[in-house]
A and B are shown apart, each in its own frame.
Chain A
Amino acid sequence: MSIGTLKVWWAKLREQLSRAPLLGWLAGALVAVTLELSVGTPLARALGMAKIPVLFGFDLALKQPQIFPSALLYVLLIYVLPVAAVAWLTARPANLLAGDLLRRSTAISALLHLALLYAILHLWTGISDYRVLVVRLMLIAVMLTLSLNVVNGYMGEFSCSHPGFMAIGAYTASVFSVGLFVAGGQLGAGLLSPALGPFLFPLGLILAGIMAAIGALVVAIPSFRTRGDYLAIISLAFMFIAKSLFENLEVVGGARGLAGQPDWANLPTVFVWTVVCIWTINNFVRSTLGKALNAVRDGELAAVAMTVDTRRTKMVAFLFAAFWAGVAGGLFAHVLRYVNPGTFDLKKLAEMLAMVYFGGLNSVVGSIVGAVGYNLLSEALRPLELYKWIIIPLLLILVMIFRPTGLIAFREFDVQKVLQPRRPPPVTAKLSLEE
């Protein structure tokens, strides 16, 4: 077979697969994870692996390169082929169903897709605790990246205080849960019954967000009076202040940190909060009030002349971003069930900035891709330990050279478009051409 015919086949394949709507792909993924549950282990053994490759072989690439090819084969057999086959086979009914759902209500359609996505994650993570941990941290990373993108991308300022907001959130939520519900923990006797805890946990997270937003106010008031680099400098200072504040607060364990958070940040909790975060931020940046951020960034004079209150716009966005960083911090502390000030340092900041700029400025999808991509890469490079910090910045530099605004920048995340059927039946296609 020549390269030419291969290309034709490839194009045909892509054309066929592009007809499947998101619903079809999700159905495919559901089949794949079920398949893995039932035949994953024997298949992995047959391919010469001790157990199922937990993270698509990413984690094995450097640790055990000799079995990496079998991991790739496993991924092909368990994920790629079944997902593609199901998406292709169900394209027609899935399109009909997707169209029908969307006609009824975008909300119902979105909720159904999310439920499906959650089911997939639930089944997929059921195989190992490592997966549960990675997925939860990944979702938290998505929240952090997206909220930082609101400031550094949509607003076009350079803020470095996100680890600080995260720390405030982590400690607030931890004090809330350990202090109120854990008897005999670091913070003395619990006041309330632990049984109430999981129900009041959202309250703790909201409190975490609010505290972080109050912290943001401290940064915003002096720095939004001026333009330019001041925010970067003040926010960097804020990050260090927050870190040393917690290092010196003996009540919450000082530099040793605070441990014993109850296990409330399970997968469904983190999933729901991430969805709410993406939903509200996407709503905000697509509204005219939110787009005012872009107007202020791309021409403040014109924005003002068009009645935009720049100070209010920037304040709201900054506090909103800090709120979500705080919530993410609270979840983070409860996923690790331990928090110490050393976590919220320059390295954390570098990671967040890397995810934002890698994924793409001014883009919700970009932030999701950036956070997920970075986390997968980070897991793959884990065996390199410290050298990871040479490779990741290098990659970032490459992205900056070849795509200065990131992989998927300046794109709107239109939920309706994502959920809609891919290609209408031929008859309607003709009609739309005539229009």
Chain B
Amino acid sequence: MPLLHVDHMTHWFGGLRAVHDYNLAIEPGQVRGLIGPNGAGKTTVFNLITGRYKPTEGHIALAGTDITGLPSHKIAAMGLGRTFQNLRLWRHMTVLEHVKMARYSKITYGLVGAFFGTPKRNREEAEIEERAHALLELMGIQHSADQIVTNLPYGAQRRVELARALATDPKILFLDEPTAGMNPEELGQMMEIIRQVHKELGLAIFLIEHRMRVVMDLCQVIQTLVFGEVIAEGTPEEIRGNPRVIDAYLGKEVMA
């Protein structure tokens, strides 16, 4: 049984069909890529699966449970972590607080603990903090734990987002253009981090990417989306050689 299963998903924005008959099956530990030209509907696919939009038709199952139409925070708590194309960090919070926040659904001390500062709350907050520090160390940003996140350089902010997503204990990680806006050096570091996260935590990863180098390097299977429809699916070699993909998307780059 696949970890994530999307079955004949279609979505309409009013009269516009953004996604049409989309199918997906991701196995545990697999790294998947989703490519396609601008406006193809890649982020919409992400938003549909993560519960931001409810698909017009079709079903989504995570680890065998139907999650179609569930609120986003429940889907996230069930093990679907994500990062965003444009960083969505909380501008008044420190790096550590970001990572701690992702444990929200796992907190058991409840309102009594929150209001009265019970020993249970202190214990639990300390545990969360310890885990958060460990994740920051994995990302190599432990030294900026107490900094307000907006004071960090761009590459570090991306890592905070990734650390935060990992703190939700995901079974599968959705990365929306994880290397967007990065310089070559940051790009190399980010790819290394993604590889490391995949190896050490054994996560399944589903990523949207514009840079062919990144997708071809990281992914085992790649889907190509054009106008909301999957026109090709296969290994990096197959995708690279597929004439329809070259036509729709890679054409200019390969020719150049």
Contact = CB atoms under 8 A, between A and B. Distances in A.
Interface in A272-310: 279-280, 283-284, 287-292, 294-295, 298-299, 301-310
Interface stretch (B101-109, B202-210, B226-234): B101-109
A295 B114 contact: no
B93 A305 contact: no
Among A279, A284, A301, A302, residue most surrounded by chain B Cβ atoms (within 10 Å): A302
B73 interface: yes
Contact of B76 (A279, A287, A306): A306
A19 B115 CA distance: 33
B206 to A, nearest CB: 14
Contacts, number: 103
A307 B73 contact: yes
Contacts of B158: none
A287 B114 contact: yes
Contacts of B12: none
Interface in B65-95: 71-73, 76-77, 81-82, 84, 88-93
A77 interface: no
Nearest to A296: B90
Contact of A291 (B81, B93, B117, B121): B93
A305 B50 contact: yes
Contact of B105 (A283, A291, A295, A307): A307
Nearest to A362: B92
Interface residues of A, number: 28
B52 interface: yes
Given A283-B115, A288-B104, A290-B114, A301 B88 contact: yes
A410 interface: yes
B114 A289 contact: yes
Interface residues of B, number: 39
A226 to B, nearest CB: 16
Contact of B104 (A279, A292, A294): A292
A305 B85 CA distance: 13
A291 B164 CA distance: 15
Contacts of B117: 279, 283, 287
A309 B105 contact: yes
Nearest to A310: B73
A90 B37 CA distance: 72
B114 A284 contact: yes
B239 interface: no
Nearest to A282: B117
A316 B110 CA distance: 11
Given A289-B111, A302-B84, A309 B90 contact: no
Contacts of A287: 109, 113-114, 117, 121, 125
B90 A288 contact: no
B100 interface: yes
B116 interface: yes
Contact of B90 (A284, A298, A320): A298
B50 A291 contact: no
Contacts of B186: none
B115 A288 contact: no
Contacts of A294: 90, 92-93
Given A289-B104, A307-B77, A307-B102, A302 B88 contact: yes
Interface string A309-346: 11000001000100000000000000000000000000
Interface of B: 50, 52, 71-73, 76-77, 81-82, 84, 88-93, 97, 100-107, 109, 111, 113-117, 121, 125, 128, 164-165, 167-168
10 smallest CB-CB distances across A and B, nearest first, come from A307-B105, A302-B88, A298-B90, A304-B72, A307-B77, A306-B102, A283-B117, A287-B114, A289-B114, A307-B76
Interface of A: 279-280, 283-284, 287-292, 294-295, 298-299, 301-310, 316, 320, 362, 410
28 contacts: A280-B116, A284-B115, A287-B109, A288-B103, A289-B104, A289-B107, A289-B111, A291-B97, A291-B100, A292-B101, A292-B104, A294-B92, A295-B90, A298-B91, A299-B88, A301-B84, A303-B73, A303-B90, A304-B73, A304-B76, A305-B84, A305-B88, A305-B165, A306-B104, A306-B168, A307-B168, A308-B73, A316-B111
